[in-house]
Structure 1
Amino acid sequence: MAKRRKLEAPSADDLNRYEEEFRSETAARAPTIAPIAQVAAEAASGYDPRPHEARAEAARDRADAERMRGAQSKGLVIAEIPLSEIDADALVRDRVALNPAEMEELQSSIAANGLRLPVEVFILRDHPKGYRYGLLSGYRRYRATQALNGQGDSSDKFNTIKALVREPAEMGGTFAAMVEENEIRAALSHFERGRIAVIASQQGAFATTEAAVNGLFPVASKAKRSKIRSFALIFEELGDMLTFPEQLKERDGLKLAAALREGNEAALRDALAQQTPETAEQEAQLIEAAIKALTPSVPAPSRGGRPKTPTGEGREVTLANGITAQTVKDAQGWSIRLKGSPVDADVAEQALLAIEALLGPAKEI
């Protein structure tokens, strides 16, 4: 007789395990929905009960809003910004001084006709004094509006100013935009150009003063950029000693720069410290007297390029910028000839000023 097998009931753990395995192997059934019901639901969700005219107007509003946001991002929308939110000195200005008569005239014009040309500002982040914007261009317009603010019954009229909000990609772009605006409106003086180039370099917008001159004045000729570098040198070494630097004439400035390049900074500072001029003319005379008192230095033989083998009396050198300078002796004496594409009237004038600084001032006629 066969032995019967004894059956054992599963434990509670076995039952839980069986149930979990069953659930993992059985996919959830989707709710039964008739296709027509789903189509009807989708159609209802896309239905707009408003009339056609209302729907068209809403579409135009959305398009207008998108265009407005795009124009704002490009700085094309004029905003009314409170004067109290703008830091006029966020950038060191390229203008050294403001003409009082011109400022009074501009102030009267704004009071009578309003501000016709908006200023330009850029967004400031984490300003220690809480300003939201820094002034980029329109310094005179801002100061004139500020002067009108709080005068008489029209004070509320001038507590804001029309402005375009810019976001320059980098600091160099900010300086360049400021300089470009002033160059177009009214040319900067030679000293102002050199000064802003040095400051832009000192504040990290450009690696060197040379790079600042090239970046701020990209369309200027080589000769003009050379002059700007000369006045930048004057600002660096004598800027604190000059009373009327923005009125320094080009010829006088180039003479002064040539003297500084010869290592005469200390002597020039001593001479300028002897007297405080009351006018630009007095300062020009003081500078000229100081230059005349200097002892001409003998240039090092190595300066001015690598000399070629002399031929006859005279020699020829080729400079790094491609200019060839040649000395020639004839029956009338010695002459210097400059050749090469960079040579123009400005370069010739600067060479003449360098000779004058070396050999002595020109004879008064």
Structure 2
Amino acid sequence: MAKRKRLTPANPMFLEPAPETKSAVAAPLRAPIADVAREASATAAAEEMAQSMAQARAQGRMVIAVPLAQIRRDHLTRDRVTVDEDDMAPLIESLRARGQQTPVDLVDLWPNKDGPRYGLISGWRRCLALERLHAETGEAQFAEVLALLRRPQDSAQAYVAMIEENEIRAGLSYYERARIVLRAVEAGAFADASAALRGLFASASRAKRSKIGSFTTIVGALDGALQFPRALGERQGLALAQALEGDSDLAAKLVATLRREAPETAEAELALLRSMLQPAKPDRPKSRPVSVQVVRRSNREVSLIGEAVDEAFLKDLEAWIAKRRV
């Protein structure tokens, strides 16, 4: 007879669920090389964009907003002598209504620790108009100017850029053109006035450059003494230049007279210049009046009586009668 096995109670440890086995091959993961490639591509794209923006900024192809306080407006000697308020009023109203449509040209002065960061090349009137609007309204939009950064190779190129813009937008007077010629020479941008004329006004005709050169004589002699130099027209300016070149003492006389008289209008100043350029009339010696009395005796006989009837008078009379007979 077979033996029966005794059954023992179940071991509670065997009743617990089996521990979860984690396979070494879980859900498929993205390959690390793909992540690296994607990140490298994104980084390269960002760097390329940053480099492109930096190049566009440096090359003057990107418009930037610059606070007016960071702009040195006298970086170049300005070609404008005075501000024409009749021209400024429409510009201010246009900026007020439509905002700034055309950027100004700036040059980066970095590292310039003592003063504004940027120097103004062209756009002086727009900066002035925005400054006035900001002072009037207090609006932040008028405290900045839209600008392009330029990189002129030298100061001569910067002066040319300023001249070209003003010649296109609003013609300069001959006096203003001549003045910037001399100031550019003083700044060392050109060796002499002839080089400045050729460089600044290369597109002008030789005759026009010659006239501007004549006006440099006026600027050199009377700059600061003339209160209304823009009113000096071409014809009167050339006459004044010729007079100054022909009389070495005339400049001092004109300066003294202009300061003494201090004309308040352009018309008064021009009239004063004309009066000083007119040659003085020579004093003619006063001669004793002489008379000739004509006595008609008949239709065929006339007598001439008086102190003027002398030998010279009779010869002149005979010559006149001879001409009448021909």
Percent identity between matched residues is 39
Any residues of structure 2 matched to 1:61-100 within 5 Å, and which?
A: 61-100=46-85
> What is the letter of the counterpart of residue 290 of structure 1?
M
Aligned residue among 249, 274, 281 for 2:267 = 281
- Work out the CA distance in 2 between the residues paired with 1:99 and 1:175: 21
Q: Verify the 8 A CA contact 1:150 1:156 in the aligned structure 2.
A: no
The answer on 1:291 being equivalent to 2:277 is yes
Aligned residue among 127, 140, 143 for 2:125 = 140
* Partner deviation per Cα, 1:124-182 (whole Å, 9 max, x = no partner): 24547421011111111101111122444x52222211111112111111111111111
- Work out the CA distance in 2 between the residues paired with 1:269 and 1:97: 20
TM-score by length of 1: 0.63
TM-score by length of 2: 0.70
**Larger Rg, first or second structure (1 or 2):** 2
- Work out the CA distance in 1 between the residues paired with 2:194 and 2:253: 26
Aligned residue among 218, 230, 240 for 2:214 = 230
- Greater relative contact order (Cα 8 A, min sep 6): structure 1 or 2? 2
Assess, with a 3 A threshold, how the Cα gap between structure 1 residues 235 and 61 changes in structure 2: closer, same or farther. same
- Work out the CA distance in 1 between the residues paired with 2:48 and 2:33: 21
Partner of 1:120: 105
Partner of 1:269: 255
| Aligned-pair CA distance for 1:69 | 2.5
> What is the letter of the counterpart of residue 89 of structure 2?
E
- Provide the aligned length of Structure 1 versus Structure 2: 249
Assess, with a 3 A threshold, how the Cα gap between structure 1 residues 78 and 138 changes in structure 2: closer, same or farther. same
| Aligned-pair CA distance for 1:285 | 1.3
- Work out the CA distance in 2 between the residues paired with 1:51 and 1:267: 82
Aligned residue among 66, 87, 90 for 1:105 = 90
Q: Verify the 8 A CA contact 2:228 2:269 in the aligned structure 1.
A: yes
> What is the letter of the counterpart of residue 190 of structure 1?
Y
> What is the letter of the counterpart of residue 133 of structure 2?
L
Q: Which runs of 5+ in 1 are unaligned?
A: 1-45, 296-365
Q: CA RMSD in A?
A: 2.4
- Work out the CA distance in 2 between the residues paired with 1:138 and 1:173: 16
Q: Verify the 8 A CA contact 1:78 1:164 in the aligned structure 2.
A: yes
Aligned residue among 175, 182, 191 for 2:166 = 182
Partner of 1:253: 237
Q: Verify the 8 A CA contact 1:145 1:158 in the aligned structure 2.
A: yes
Any residues of structure 2 matched to 1:47-62 within 5 Å, and which?
A: 47-49=33-35, 59-62=44-47
- Work out the CA distance in 2 between the residues paired with 1:130 and 1:48: 51
| Aligned-pair CA distance for 1:270 | 4.0
> What is the letter of the counterpart of residue 165 of structure 1?
L
Partner of 1:165: 149
| Aligned-pair CA distance for 1:50 | 5.6
| Aligned-pair CA distance for 1:279 | 1.6
Assess, with a 3 A threshold, how the Cα gap between structure 1 residues 281 and 49 changes in structure 2: closer, same or farther. same
Q: Verify the 8 A CA contact 1:206 1:212 in the aligned structure 2.
A: yes
Q: Verify the 8 A CA contact 1:146 1:159 in the aligned structure 2.
A: yes
| Aligned-pair CA distance for 1:226 | 0.6
Does the residue aligned with 2:106 lie in a helix, a strand or coil?
Answer: strand
| Aligned-pair CA distance for 1:109 | 1.5
| Aligned-pair CA distance for 1:187 | 1.0
* Partner deviation per Cα, 1:97-147 (whole Å, 9 max, x = no partner): 112232222112112211111111111245474210111111111011111
Q: Which runs of 5+ in 2 are unaligned?
A: 1-31, 282-326
* Partner deviation per Cα, 1:10-45 (whole Å, 9 max, x = no partner): xxxxxxxxxxxxxxxxxxxxxxxxxxxxxxxxxxxx
> What is the letter of the counterpart of residue 292 of structure 1?
Q
Partner of 2:116: 131
Q: Verify the 8 A CA contact 2:57 2:148 in the aligned structure 1.
A: no
> What is the letter of the counterpart of residue 199 of structure 1?
R
Assess, with a 3 A threshold, how the Cα gap between structure 1 residues 274 and 167 changes in structure 2: closer, same or farther. same
Does the residue aligned with 1:76 lie in a helix, a strand or coil?
Answer: coil
